[in-house]
Structure 1
């Protein structure tokens, strides 16, 4: 938590004044029992009504001041802690956005969501309590002891027995409860994972009649977290009864021994009343401290989880020394030189010693069986991953030497699974180019064969896309994703199997339009269907992460066994082989 306190720096003025007003509030609260004692011992005992009224008005003013100080301090504490939470969430999100896909795989999406929401909320709550209580508790504790001793030093010996009993109780409960907090956060990660899978995969779940199974899976994760939470709450629930027992026994002891001192003339009734209030203030300050001891360990667990994310150094980052890199027109396009890549923990490389080039004005197609490394190859170009061996060159420059913003600004990428965002159709297409005009958006949609179905929608380009694109079909999502890449007018187009949901006629028309708009660009298409790649200028056949053949359709039909098998499996019945 200390490391994360840097996010409080912009609010240090609010923090300082919050502490000042808490200090003033504590002084006012410590002054009130003394005034009450004076009213009883001087005003009531002597029957001095003017003194009672004068001191009573003073008590009222002090109480109003204490209330005002409390309101201001709480406002400033809330302002600082909520600002801290907002800035930390922004910081986490900004940092996570720099991750490569390897870091996302390492932490997990559900865990990142939990850490960005629940964990930060835990820390935010603790900072609020700290600003309100952490300052007040020691002030009330020390001030209460001073005032209690001032009222009657001998009666204060009761506190010598009561205070250690409370401290031991707090220590015992904290020791039992702290280890369970970390388990709760981990089990919440698991619960979020199951919930996320259940919600996003609802179509598959229902189609396979697995609703009951998913409900039982969620219930198991929910029950697991609940059992741990109950253990924690059982331990912490014992805190208040034990504290109240000790406090009430202490009060009985104070009244007992105080009554004896009043009988002996060593103490007055008002003094005993004030002493009881100071004893309560001391014990409540310990109770506030106990609450902090209960909450801080949980927040420390959350802070540790957040720091784990902040400590992850992205595997892919901008080069340390940024410089203008001249583009070599002779080497324009994308070139792979002896590229090898392995996923963490994998026994064999996903790609092994790949070498090929894709030139502007050409259509370079990549085809292969499932798991042959097609998408992985494409992900190396925009540096979603970095190669382990060899080099990926764009316009003759190693991508690792290029600023990420410049590199990715040259690329129009269409992922294998089309992703749309909440907003209008036009907003989703304009996502590829903020400055795109309405005419450019319509032209991109026309090229992507999306203009027709968009115009048939109720509000046309102003129609709203639901979260995740749930209100459009798979083929429509793919075409909108392609339009988003088209509107960018990039130097390099990377299309990752984005024709799979299209019918053959739409596929053919789209490829014709693509050829027209990409004449000066490098076009790399990953596809499963031979009909999509059959007219490509260059076809790269992958088999288990290795190049099995490179050439045109006719050349590969004569020389590449893997390609022949793919063609035979897909096109023989259609007479296209």
Structure 2
């Protein structure tokens, strides 16, 4: 609720204006049945044409006035609701962007997508409905009841009796619907999850001919959503018939009571009967509206709870990221001391007592089998995750000492899974530094050994790249991602096995170019041609550091390293012999 009031409070002036206009509209509407009774009693029954014209004209004028006020109130309500939705959606997106991986892993991506779109829309609609009818409908019921009691208490007493029954019923309905709509939103999450996975893997699905399987999966989740939504809506819509039955029964009792009063010689007039019945009809319409409002509140409440969950689990990073606007220059000296780490919701240690050091400007090659913890080491440096134990320092200061933006602005990171965005080649490189000049973009491309390839493209640096870089080869995508990291001139460069698709010569030129930069490089690799060039090599196995040293030192003291080296040399000789051109060049 705090989140709701915080965002709505930004537009309290507009909210007040919208509510004031709604109250004026309501006042006119409540007065109209009274005017109708005057037209009947003082005009039609009495045969007074002037009274008919006077009260009829007043009724018509106030109706037009209420119509204009209603339009103006709708405008202000729409202004508030749309801006409320915009601010909430923007803040939620920024919150998600600042999440650590620990926090992000608590939500499915499809669920976050649903929360930032569908759930925000539900709350936004509730804001508009709240200013237009959520307050208006109960007030209309109360004021109509008061006016009916004032005109003829004996007739209106039946409405008063029905009120407690309706209040208890609608309150129970709102609580029940809140739970049901929460389940509906969860089913929508599951549908979005299947759809997202299918769209991301559409090429693989077609290659393996799994379209039918994916269709069945989507149909199953879609059917669950349909069934749950139908069941919830049937239950929710039951409220309207029950309200109508109860109020219409009250109207029948009122008409029966009016007949008895007339037969008993009471002074009740036709105008009074019409006015009281008219108030009862307005109450009926308002209560039908309230049942719809109850469903809307229940759905919006469930959605707001889901939005609040995202804000609630966001850790101190959000405050910390804004804590300091100062930039900081790092030299790039990195030290791990007794670092232990376990992924959230996992019982297996990923890193155990990891200790090593990299001096500023050095190249550290990290080797190890799949799942040994190489990527985890890189992700702890920019604090994508937090270590469970031990200390990680940069320039002799714990990484927690730096604000997140200070830390990450000094780091260039190329993940193992390359991600490119729809846009031009230059835009994708400049994504690493949005204010980079054209010369800086070209310089980064040259360092990444991709410049010659770019200028051969149809529009050079202005060539459009498809989603995820579908029109580029694996090696081109890797070098473009490296250029994106280099354009920011980082003090620390983290390369997570991102040279696997490069040939030996291209990789050599790339490492030569990076070697000319004054940055510390941590490179996850499986290539011995890379480790030979490194200042230091880190051997990781099962989350533990087995050895650290130069290529020569490890050849002397690490049997594991020697086995890897001999294995790769054997494969290289085999490849050379099976290549006729190479065989001719290497033949004695």
Equivalent position SS for 2:155: coil
- Contact in 2 for aligned 1:89/1:120 (Cα 8 Å): yes
Alignment of 1:226-245 (within 5 A): 226-245=226-245
Q: Distance in 2 between matches of 1:176 and 1:435?
A: 52
Partner of 1:564: 562
* Equivalent of residue 543 in structure 2, options 542, 545, 561: 545
Q: Distance in 2 between matches of 1:514 and 1:372?
A: 26
Partner of 2:106: 106
Deviations 1:45-81 (A, max 9, x none): 2222222122222111100111112111111111112
Greater alpha carbon shift after TM alignment, 211-220 vs 248-257: 248-257
Greater alpha carbon shift after TM alignment, 283-292 vs 384-393: 283-292
Q: Distance in 2 between matches of 1:172 and 1:322?
A: 49
Give 1:316 deviation, angstroms: 5.1
Q: 1:176 to 1:484 in 2, by over 3 A?
A: closer
Deviations 1:102-124 (A, max 9, x none): 11111222221111111111111
Deviations 1:253-306 (A, max 9, x none): 333333443453532222221111101122322223222222222222222221
- Contact in 1 for aligned 2:140/2:286 (Cα 8 Å): yes
Equivalent position SS for 1:102: helix
- Contact in 2 for aligned 1:316/1:385 (Cα 8 Å): no
Q: 1:203 to 1:255 in 2, by over 3 A?
A: same
Unaligned runs of at least 5 residues, structure 1:
none
Give 1:20 deviation, angstroms: 0.7
Q: 1:32 to 1:423 in 2, by over 3 A?
A: same
Q: Distance in 2 between matches of 1:322 and 1:124?
A: 33
Greater alpha carbon shift after TM alignment, 243-252 vs 302-311: 243-252
Deviations 1:359-406 (A, max 9, x none): 233221111110011111011111111222222121221111112222
Q: Distance in 2 between matches of 1:319 and 1:355?
A: 28
Deviations 1:1-44 (A, max 9, x none): 35421101110011111111111111100111111111111111
Equivalent position SS for 1:412: strand
Q: 1:89 to 1:236 in 2, by over 3 A?
A: same
Q: 1:320 to 1:80 in 2, by over 3 A?
A: closer
Equivalent position SS for 1:155: helix
Q: 1:504 to 1:128 in 2, by over 3 A?
A: same
Q: Distance in 1 between matches of 2:333 and 2:474?
A: 31
- Contact in 2 for aligned 1:15/1:131 (Cα 8 Å): yes
Deviations 1:333-367 (A, max 9, x none): 21222222111243332112222222233221111
Q: Distance in 2 between matches of 1:32 and 1:507?
A: 84
Alignment of 1:351-500 (within 5 A): 351-500=351-500
Partner of 1:90: 90
Alignment of 1:524-543 (within 5 A): 524-543=522-541
Q: 1:229 to 1:334 in 2, by over 3 A?
A: same
Number of residue equivalences: 573
Q: 1:492 to 1:21 in 2, by over 3 A?
A: same
Alpha carbon RMSD of aligned pairs, Å? 2.5
Give 1:323 deviation, angstroms: 12
Unaligned runs of at least 5 residues, structure 2:
576-588
Alignment of 1:130-279 (within 5 A): 130-167=130-167, 169-171=169-171, 173-174=173-174, 176-263=176-263, 264-279=265-280
Give 1:202 deviation, angstroms: 1.6
Give 1:169 deviation, angstroms: 4.6
Q: 1:190 to 1:293 in 2, by over 3 A?
A: same
Equivalent position SS for 1:231: helix
Q: Distance in 1 between matches of 2:513 and 2:568?
A: 24
Give 1:168 deviation, angstroms: 5.2
Q: Distance in 2 between matches of 1:560 and 1:433?
A: 41
- Contact in 1 for aligned 2:36/2:275 (Cα 8 Å): yes
- Contact in 1 for aligned 2:430/2:487 (Cα 8 Å): yes
Equivalent position SS for 2:184: helix
Q: Distance in 1 between matches of 2:335 and 2:4?
A: 43
TM-score with structure 1 setting the length: 0.93
- Contact in 1 for aligned 2:328/2:406 (Cα 8 Å): no
- Contact in 2 for aligned 1:141/1:285 (Cα 8 Å): yes
Q: Distance in 2 between matches of 1:290 and 1:186?
A: 24
Give 1:150 deviation, angstroms: 1.9
Question: Does residue 1:284 correspond to 2:285, yes or no?
Answer: yes
Partner of 2:48: 48
Give 1:183 deviation, angstroms: 1.1
Greater alpha carbon shift after TM alignment, 166-175 vs 294-303: 166-175
